[in-house]
């Protein structure tokens, strides 16, 4: 049996990779993918706890999160497509109109 700590370690590593990805990338698509990674790291942690305590609640929440993530991905990608059509770029640093 794999101990909970292993799952959690993996979740933390995945979350860290996702965070760093968000902070360093300029490409919106990659940024978006990194956010998904963070989301799934959280899912993994919830699953691990759920299994460890033999509770079904965690599974349910994860399903919910997955569903919402799918919907959110669709909306997010659509936004990125629209942004690209307007500005011909997906470089996040070029979108800095809302400053001082």
Partner 1 sequence: MADLLFLIPLLPLTGFLINGLLLGRLPKWMISAVACGSVGLSFLLSAAAFFELRSLAPEARQLTQTLFTWISVDQLEVNFGFLLDPLSAVMILVVSGVGFLIHVYSVGYMGHDKGYGRYFAYLNLFMFAMLTLVLADNFLLLFVGWEGVGLCSYLLIGFWYEKQSATDAGKKAFIVNRIGDFGFLIGMFVIFWSVGSLDFVTVSRMAPEVFIAGGSLITAACLLLFLGAVGKSAQIPLYVWLPDAMEGPTPVSALIHAATMVTAGVYMLARTNALFVLAPDALFVVAVIGGLTAIFAATIGLAQNDIKRVLAYSTVSQLGYMFLACGVAAFTAGIFHLMTHAFFKALLFLGAGSVIHAMSGKQDMRDMGGLKKYLPTTFRTMVIATLAIAGIPLFSGFFSKDEILWKAYSSTMHGGWYFWLLGVAGAGLTAFYMFRLVFLTFYGEERMDAETKHHIHESPRSMTVPLVILAVLSVIGGYVGMPQLFGATNYFEEWLHPVMTAGSHEIAPHALASGGYSLVEEWTLMLASVALVLFAIYLANYYYRRNVGAAGRLAQRLSGIKTLLVNKYYVDEIYGAVVVRPLVYFSLFLWKIFDVIVIDGTLNGIAVLWRDLSDEFRYTQSGQLRNYATIFSIGVVILLAYFMFG
Q: Which of residues 68-97 bind partner 1 (CB under 8 A)?
A: 92-93, 95-97
79: how many CB neighbours lie within 10 A of its CB? 12
In whole angstroms, the minimum distance from the beta carbon of 81 to partner 1 comes to: 18
Contact region for partner 1 (CB under 8 A) — 4-12, 19-27, 68-76, 82-90? 19-27
- Give the one residue of 23, 56, 70, 75 binding partner 1; rule: CB under 8 A: 23
In whole angstroms, the minimum distance from the beta carbon of 54 to partner 1 comes to: 26
In whole angstroms, the minimum distance from the beta carbon of 78 to partner 1 comes to: 18
48: how many CB neighbours lie within 10 A of its CB? 21
State which residue, 84 or 95, has the beta carbon closest to partner 1: 95
CA distances in angstroms from 39 to 5, 19, 48, 59, listed in the order given: 19, 10, 14, 15
């Amino acid at each position: 049996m794999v101990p909970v700590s292993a799952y959690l370690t993996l979740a933390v590593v995945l979350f860290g990779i996702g965070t760093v990805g968000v902070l360093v990338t300029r490409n919106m698509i990659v940024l978006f993918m990194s956010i998904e990674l963070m989301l799934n790291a959280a899912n993994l942690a919830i699953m691990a706890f759920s299994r460890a305590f033999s509770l079904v609640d965690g599974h349910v929440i994860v399903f919910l999160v997955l569903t919402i993530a799918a919907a959110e991905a669709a909306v997010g990608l659509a936004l990125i497509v629209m942004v690209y059509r307007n500005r011909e770029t997906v470089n996040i640093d070029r979108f800095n109109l809302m400053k001082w």
